Structure formats: C-alpha cells, structure tokens
Amino acid sequence: MSKVITIDNVARLEGHASVTLYLDKDGGVEKAEYLATEPSRGFDIIFKGKHASEVPMLAARICGICYTAHNICACKALEDAWETPIPDSAKKIRELLLFANTLASHALHTFFLAGPGLLIEGANTIADLQKKYPDFPEAGIELRMIGQQISEIIAGRKVHTTIAVPGGVLGVLEQEKQDNIMKLLDSASEPIEIMEDYSHRILSDRKDYMLSFGMIETHFLALKQSKRLELYDNPIELLMKNGKVDILTPTQILERITEEKKDYSYVRHPYITDLGSDNGQFRTGALARIQEDASWDNPTFHEFKKIFGTFTQSTMGYDIARVAEMVECIKGMKNIIKSGLDKDIKNVAHQKDGIGVAVVEAPRGLLLHQYEIDSEGIVRKARVIAPTTFHQGSIERSTFEAAKIVLNGKKGKCSDEEKIKIEQAIRAYDPCMSCAGATQLRVIKKPI
C-alpha cells in the first residue's frame, strides 16, 4: 500500500461521513472504507425509562428528513406490543404523511443533492445547475414545498411531524383541509413533468454511466409492491441475487441479520448471517421497492424497466427509481383523498408488557423499530435500525467500484473534481447518517 486518499466530510448528504481510499503503488484502488464519523446520539438510552407514550414524539427527532417514518414506525411497534388496532382513516392519514414526506425527501435529494452531479458531470452546487437548466431547481423547490405543505396541513408543522400516536392519529382531516391538499397536488403536475423530463434527459445522455457506475451485486429487501406505491403495510420480501424470493416478518429480519462492528466507523455493517459478510449484503430503498413486484403506471417507471430491465443491480438506478416514486406519491395521495376519510381516527391503547416490532418504508428504505415495554408502560429496551444502517456495506462497496472507474489511469492522483465524482456513487443511496447512528453505539448485541 503506497498511498491513502481521504475524502473528508462528504458533502451533500445528511450528517457526517468520510471516505478513505487505499491505493497500491501503481495507483490502483485496493480498498475503500466508508466512515460514519457522527457518533450515536444514543436514542436507545434516551428511550429507556421513558413512558412509551413519549416515544413516538422523541423518535421523530432521530432524523430531520424522514421524521414521519420514525414517528409512524414507533407507533406501529407500540401497537404491535399492545395489540391495538387502528381505525381505517387513521391508517389513511398516516399513509398520506408518508407519501408527503417521501415526496419532499426525494425532491430535496434529486434536485439539491444528487441532481447537479447527475446532469452536469462534476458539477457540485445548485447554482451550477441553475446556469444551464434554470427551470429544474425551481421545479425542485416547488415540488419539495408541496410535500412539506401537505405535512403542515395534516400535522400542523413541516418538520418533525408528531401527529401519529399509539392507537391512531390526533387530528381529523376535515373537508377543507382535504380540498387544500387536492389543490396542492393539482399544482404538482407541472413540476413533476419537468422532473420526468430531467430523468429522461439523464438516461438518454448518460446511459452507460447510469448502468455501470458504482455497480455492485447484492440482495434486495423491501415491502412487496403492487399497482401503487406501498409504504405502510405489506409483507416484507427478500429478493435474492438469484431471483429467489423469501417472505419475512420484522422479527425474522432481526433473527437473520448480524451487525458487524468496524473499527473505523461509528455505524455497524449489517449482513444476512447465513450468507456471510461478503455475499450477505442487501440493499433497501427506491431501487429495492421498484423491483419488488411493482407494477406502477407512469412514464419514468416504464423507461426504468426498459433501460435497466426487470432485475438490475445498477446503483445509479436509485436516482431514477426515486423520480418514478415521486409520481406515485402524488397519485397515491390523490387516491387516498378520493376514497374518503371520516372522523374515527383514534382508538384507546391499553398498555401491557410485551415486545413490539414494526417496519415501514422510509424514503431511504426499510426502517425497523423494536421496543420492550413493562406493564407500567415504561420502555426497557429499544432498538432502531434505519435504512442507511442496512446500506453501510453496500455504500462502501459502491465507493470502491466508483473509485476504480474514476481513478483508472490517474497514477494515484486524486483532485477535488475526481473526489466529487466518486462521491456521486455514495449520494445515489441518499445516506442519512443521523438515522444510521440512532442507536448504534450501545446497541444490544442479540435481538431482544
């Protein structure tokens, strides 16, 4: 090993992460390490000893981007422990929130974070993008605001929505609010067209790049999809490399994975235990969802299937799958509101001792919460595994593949422009480091 290259504090992702590349004496990349440099804020410790009714509110604070998913997943886990059903309208309101949050998160990522580097090779700010394609950032801001405003209409606030509680939700969605949401959704048609145009442009201009950059082989884990985007409740599917499909329960996920401690990162690297750490890597998120039997109907989805095929391992496919999902989010919200909502939104939850575990699809992939509660309703143990935690190993491998392509023939030199190009492979996963380290540092070693 003759040289070490460090990409310190990778920009345009949520939280802090660095990359270390080890080069041999000819300048070839030997190894890549992905460092989560943000320590855990210790949410397992924060939850411990608190009454379970406070947990969904605190859980939302794990992440400033996918707060809705954490809030709802904590509620689902508590409802699992207490065997509390929720009214139909409450489920619909939770789905609306998840769709709105996914739309805002994907718009933020597609336009502000990944967008500049995808449309113009090596570009790194929204300002670079604005010079060449002035309408794209505008559409991105607009689309994001639509998602955030829908959250605000439902939950009263744009960030850290905590309207979901064990047993349902707190606020009724009156007719006036429904009309306002519909108005917002109708105004989304123009920016979403610009968005689809954008993904079409990337696919036609940089097809080879999109197919091959940072490609690795992994399994996929996501909720089974249908004719619509399923984020809240459906069986979990593990799609293996060889095309085999396993149906898992949330508890089975915990039983089948091992979290490997790394001495260079605050976040552990999970893998499927019986397949080993090399073969057992799996990915979740947009790329996994689009491959789990999704049969959506929008132009970007069809284009994705045409170019990437029915089964793909292309990492950059994430960015296109996100655009297809944004269209589905808007459709999904419209359908929920058309199906009608009533005033029955909350069941009384009766606390008892037990273990509750649940998953939802967060914007970045499968999110898992597990709580052990005593008869007084006090949380004894808590565990959160966020999608970015699942992705740690995959991100590291994709970085390695990307670095090999970018640094090929550079004789060990790595300028700032090349670093930005390598970072693009990391950004495809839209990693959220504040989620990834939610409970990692002092996590209980075996499933509780």
Partner 1 sequence: MGINVSTIQLGGCSGCHVSILDIGKDLFKGGINIVHSYLLMDKVTATIEAETDILIIEGAILTNRDEDLVKCMAPHAKKVVAIGSCACFGGIACLGNLETPFRPQKGDFNKSDHKLHPLVCSPKAFIDVDYFISGCPPPANVIRDVLFALVEGKPVPEIAHTVCDECDRERTGEPPPIPPGGKWKTALDEAPDPKKCFLEQGYLCLGRQTIGGCNASCIKANMPCEGCRGPILLHRGFKKFTDEEKKEILRCLK
Q: Which of residues 29-68 bind partner 1 (CB under 8 A)?
A: 35, 37-39, 41-42, 45-46, 48-49, 51-54, 56-58, 61-65, 67
Q: How many Cβ atoms sit within 10 Å of the Cβ of residue 439?
A: 25
Count of chain residues binding partner 1 (CB under 8 A)? 81
CA 196 to CA 322: how far, in whole Å? Answer: 11
Asked if 354 and 81 touch (Cβ cutoff 8 Å), the reply is: yes
- Collapsing DSSP to helix, strand or coil, 118 comes out as helix
Joined tokens for residue 175: 């007719």
Asked if 223 and 289 touch (Cβ cutoff 8 Å), the reply is: yes
**Shortest distance, position 428 Cβ to partner 1, whole Å:** 16
Residues of this chain, 82-141, that bind partner 1 according to CB under 8 A: 108, 112-113, 124-127, 137-138, 141
- Collapsing DSSP to helix, strand or coil, 98 comes out as helix
The span of 144-152, 207-215, 277-285, 365-373 binding partner 1 (CB under 8 A) equals 144-152
Q: Is 406 among the residues that bind partner 1 (CB under 8 A)?
A: no
**Shortest distance, position 420 Cβ to partner 1, whole Å:** 6
Asked if 303 and 415 touch (Cβ cutoff 8 Å), the reply is: no
**Shortest distance, position 346 Cβ to partner 1, whole Å:** 4
**Shortest distance, position 52 Cβ to partner 1, whole Å:** 8
Using the rule CB under 8 A, which residue among 23, 102, 115, 168 binds partner 1?
A: 168
Using the rule CB under 8 A, which residue among 132, 207, 302, 350 binds partner 1?
A: 350
- Collapsing DSSP to helix, strand or coil, 32 comes out as strand
**Shortest distance, position 298 Cβ to partner 1, whole Å:** 26
Q: Which is nearer to partner 1, 174 or 193 (CB)?
A: 174
Q: At what angle do helices 317-338 and 135-155 cross, to 10 degrees?
A: 40
Identify the CA nearest to 21 among candidates 40, 7, 41: 7
Q: Which 8-state DSSP code applies to residue 195?
A: H
Q: Which is nearer to partner 1, 108 or 184 (CB)?
A: 108
**Shortest distance, position 15 Cβ to partner 1, whole Å:** 7
Identify the CA nearest to 36 among candidates 262, 277, 318: 262
Q: Is 346 among the residues that bind partner 1 (CB under 8 A)?
A: yes
Using the rule CB under 8 A, which residue among 191, 250, 332, 377 binds partner 1?
A: 377
Q: Is 432 among the residues that bind partner 1 (CB under 8 A)?
A: yes
Largest CA distance in the chain: 69
Q: Which is nearer to partner 1, 28 or 171 (CB)?
A: 171
CA 132 to CA 104: how far, in whole Å? Answer: 24
**Shortest distance, position 349 Cβ to partner 1, whole Å:** 4
**Shortest distance, position 275 Cβ to partner 1, whole Å:** 24
Q: Which is nearer to partner 1, 291 or 351 (CB)?
A: 351
Q: Which is nearer to partner 1, 56 or 317 (CB)?
A: 56
Residues of this chain, 191-250, that bind partner 1 according to CB under 8 A: none
Q: Is 408 among the residues that bind partner 1 (CB under 8 A)?
A: no
Q: Which is nearer to partner 1, 217 or 260 (CB)?
A: 260
Joined tokens for residue 217: 């082989």
CA separation (Å) from 127 to 11, 13, 74, 130?
A: 15, 17, 38, 5
Residues of this chain, 6-25, that bind partner 1 according to CB under 8 A: 9, 11-16
- Collapsing DSSP to helix, strand or coil, 60 comes out as helix
The bridge status of strand 269-272 relative to strand 282-283 is unpaired
